[in-house]
Chains A and B, each alone.
Chain A
């Protein structure tokens, strides 16, 4: 066995050993919690797979790019494919960046909201190495007033005329703006009540109110910007591509099943053998049990349908699944331990 094959087999084995041991060993071995870092380790495995995100892209570029460059048959279709790909990547990426920007624009406010809570928590656990609570409250107050002022200015500068006057979004926006103004006033009031003097008795309900009101301001500001963003050009292009093309094409493909299931039923359920007759009868009984009109014929069809699906159907499915699962487990062991058949080993050039 050459060294490359050995390395591949070694990594194949290493890939599975953690999950195998995590299952066969008890939760705690010699005082050590085996699955303490299970989430982080699982995430690491997912990261490995996620890094393959560009593989499909490279393949599409190579195949369709060469068709366009060398003007082979199907170059127009390849051009459509690559145009759609790059446009969608650009537009999706832009929409995502805009989402991140919106979140960042209120990051200061959300950060101050969590700071308000942290002041109270640190006091309660008597945390060392931090400034006194009243000093921190003063710093919070100053920073929050400044941040709220900046946010208020930025929201007031937004061009709300983009929205059609009578649209539901316009009504929504007006309502959000009203709520935003009220939330700003509540934040100001909550901040004014913060205990900033050493002589004040510690009472952190004001901190809690500051946290909630700042979170509300941040949420409403994000919502206002989200509603407005829906009317930006990039977002509209995204909606056109996603809803107009991607979703429509997917739904249309899915709906072809309506035609095909009828065609398949017509072909399969002709009485050409005893087996197909049995399939036909079972399918017919279940279909009759599903449609509302069947009660005009006989009201027992629903019960027959439920019985067929819960007794013989469940039993047969279970048997098939048991067999497939056992076969899958055996295959998994072979894969993990690299017990390959000669067909995979012979001639595999590495």
Chain B
């Protein structure tokens, strides 16, 4: 049953999810040594960029078919980091694009990365290549581009659909080191089989925080963990209630009932 308008339960739930984020963002500005555990695939980003620099071949960073959305926002954090590294190592960074609006935003972020390293003169907007808005036309263009440019490293960060395997295989065929990140578990399965490192689900969102260690990003990450903890506890409570109901035959209302209960 859809939730058309927030009930009191939904509002409380929302506050429990959102308030920790604001709290930890504030805290991250004051404390610089907040703990974030090591995330395997993220360390590979530096390795991948370094490899491309050594080989003197370009890097490709694809946002897939990510539209203008929160996922894009997360991906841009990593793009900024990669752009800085590419500028530092004087490596060519190619951005094949699917959406003109995303292209505009990505171009800005990439330019900022080059500017931050003092290499704005090396930034070439022609490296941001619009291919197609159509899914498989984009995949066809990406395949051809990767082969012609002989990229050494390919980043696949964002939202992907059926074309994910095609994109990843294209990189495999040219011997590129590939780091992929998708929030969609369906595509992660394919990336695991074809890419060197894969970030699963929300590790995509954690990547920028881990790389840059900026207060806003770190604070968000810590707040997210507390929000997930709320879910974790709710599942334990809900399962407990369901188990008690099963044992005793009582028909206690579970948490979903309370969340949906219309007070007004």
User: Which A residues have a C-beta under 8 Å from some C-beta of B?
Assistant: 22-27, 35, 49, 52, 55-56, 59-60, 63, 249-250, 253-254, 256-257, 260-261, 263-265, 267-269, 279, 316-317, 320-324, 326-335, 339-344, 346-348
Contacts and interface: CB of A to CB of B under 8 A. Distances in A.
- The DSSP consensus for interface residues of chain A is helix
Contacts of A331: 70-71, 73-74, 205, 220
Nearest to B194: A264
Which among B126, B129, B194 has the greatest number of chain A C-beta atoms within 10 A? B194
Given A322-B231, A329-B17, 11 more contacts: A26-B264, A55-B104, A60-B130, A249-B136, A250-B137, A253-B163, A317-B185, A328-B70, A339-B25, A342-B216, A343-B116
Interface in B7-40: 11, 14, 17-18, 21, 25
A254 B192 CA distance: 20
Contacts of A27: 4-5
Nearest to A253: B136
B90 interface: no
Contacts of A339: 25, 216
A331 B216 CA distance: 11
B165 A257 contact: yes
Nearest to B227: A326
Given A279-B192, A344-B76, A328 B205 contact: yes
Interface in B171-224: 172, 183-185, 188, 190, 192-194, 200-202, 204-206, 208, 212, 214-217, 220, 223-224
Interface residues of B, number: 70
A12 to B, nearest CB: 11
B217 A341 contact: yes
Nearest to B184: A324
A24 B216 contact: no
Interface of B: 4-6, 11, 14, 17-18, 21, 25, 70-71, 73-74, 76-77, 80-81, 100-101, 103-104, 108-109, 112, 115-116, 126, 129-130, 132-134, 136-137, 139-140, 162-163, 165-166, 168-169, 172, 183-185, 188, 190, 192-194, 200-202, 204-206, 208, 212, 214-217, 220, 223-224, 227-228, 231, 264
Given A24-B11, A26-B264, A333-B18, A323 B201 contact: yes
A317 B112 CA distance: 36
Contacts of B220: 330-331, 334
Nearest to B108: A348
A256 B193 CA distance: 16
11 contacts: A24-B5, A35-B4, A253-B139, A254-B136, A267-B194, A321-B185, A324-B201, A324-B204, A330-B18, A342-B216, A348-B112
